[in-house]
Amino acid sequence: MDGIDTIFSREDMTFQEAVDYFKERVPVTADTFYKIAEEYRALAFTVSGYTKAQILKKFYDELLSALEDGSTLQEFRANMDDFLEAEGYEGLAPQQAELIFRTNIQTAYNVGHYQQMTDPAVKKLRPYWQYDAVNDASTRPSHLAMDGKVFPADSPVWDVWFPPNGFKCRCTVRTLSKRQVEQRGLTVEREFPAVEPDPHFNTNPAKVRFQPDLKDYPEPLVKAYRAREEAGAPKSP
């Protein structure tokens, strides 16, 4: 699981829950993004270093295409480079392109996965969740400390530790039945972990409920919130 294309195959990236989550996000400038309360940032989308709405919208559209059509990191970078250079900007550095692509796609993927995992029928059959970190030289110590730990599916731990838990985080969560836990000799943790996710990644994006005092929030998010309420969009669990 070293390369991003190994983690995010075309087949993986086309399930509807991930697409639905990403469509709810609103492109805003980084300045606006960091004025938003941290727990609501999962509803906003930004790319540091760019302030023009047209460019932010292009980033958003290309990432949505990756989710809907399965376009790859290489395709994302090539399309963005063509657009940026036409607008008078330099193209994306490889590390920058991967950071933008991986963070946004991984977040959408995990939100979609969470929606599937919390289906009542699934939770009844598989009531335990196990944290799974990629065990290699790039894995952060705090993420590695969580690797293999099992908690009940309804544990508050998942409000803090549901991936992604940092930029370029590759962690995932798998569901387990009671029999699997017993057969594998796993311990169901009851204590809250001593380690914490990376800064600004200590919320579960799938559980964000955008119910702030609207007068304190930027107009683009206010409009998006009102439109979603009027449309009767389903709320996150």
For the ranges 15-24, 33-42, 221-230, the one whose mean pLDDT is highest: 15-24
Q: What pLDDT is recorded for position 87?
A: 92
Together in a domain, 26 and 101 = yes
Between these two residues, 111 and 1, which has the higher pLDDT value? Answer: 111
pLDDT at residue 9 greater than cutoff 80: no
> Is residue 193 domain-resident?
no
Q: In the chain, how many domains are there?
A: 2
Q: What pLDDT is recorded for position 13?
A: 40
Q: Which run of H or of E encompasses 173?
A: strand 172-176
User: In which domain, by residue range, is 130 found?
Assistant: 120-183
> Is residue 143 domain-resident?
yes
Together in a domain, 72 and 92 = yes
> Is residue 200 domain-resident?
no
Q: What pLDDT is recorded for position 75?
A: 95
Confidence of residue 121 (pLDDT cuts 50, 70, 90): very high
Together in a domain, 108 and 130 = no
> Is residue 202 domain-resident?
no
> Is residue 197 domain-resident?
no
Amino acid at 107: T
pLDDT at residue 136 greater than cutoff 70: yes
The CA-based dihedral angle spanning residues 123, 38, 108, 62, taken in that order and rounded to the nearest 10 degrees: 170
Of 190, 158, 199, the C-alpha closest to 175 is 158
Amino acid at 65: S
d(CA 22, CA 44): 9
> Is residue 201 domain-resident?
no
Confidence of residue 92 (pLDDT cuts 50, 70, 90): very high
| Its pTM surpasses 0.75 | no
For the ranges 124-128, 135-139, 194-198, the one whose mean pLDDT is highest: 124-128
Q: What pLDDT is recorded for position 201?
A: 87
Q: What pLDDT is recorded for position 221?
A: 63
d(CA 8, CA 73): 9
d(CA 59, CA 42): 16
Together in a domain, 47 and 78 = yes
Fill in the DSSP letter of residue 191: S
> Is residue 59 domain-resident?
yes
Together in a domain, 22 and 88 = yes
- Tell me the average pLDDT across 129-148: 95
Together in a domain, 24 and 99 = yes
pLDDT at residue 204 greater than cutoff 70: yes
Of 37-41, 73-77, 103-107, 127-131, the one with minimum mean pLDDT is 37-41
Together in a domain, 30 and 100 = yes
> Is residue 51 domain-resident?
yes
Together in a domain, 11 and 109 = yes
Q: What pLDDT is recorded for position 45?
A: 79
Residue 91 burial (CB count, 10 A) = 15
Together in a domain, 85 and 127 = no
Angle in degrees, 0-180, between the axes of helices 73-86 and 94-117, rounded to the nearest 10: 130
Q: Are 196 and 160 in contact (CB under 8 A)?
A: yes
Together in a domain, 109 and 124 = no
pLDDT at residue 157 greater than cutoff 60: yes
Together in a domain, 47 and 163 = no
Together in a domain, 50 and 152 = no
The CA-based dihedral angle spanning residues 188, 194, 200, 202, taken in that order and rounded to the nearest 10 degrees: 30
d(CA 220, CA 36): 12
Between these two residues, 183 and 233, which has the higher pLDDT value? Answer: 183
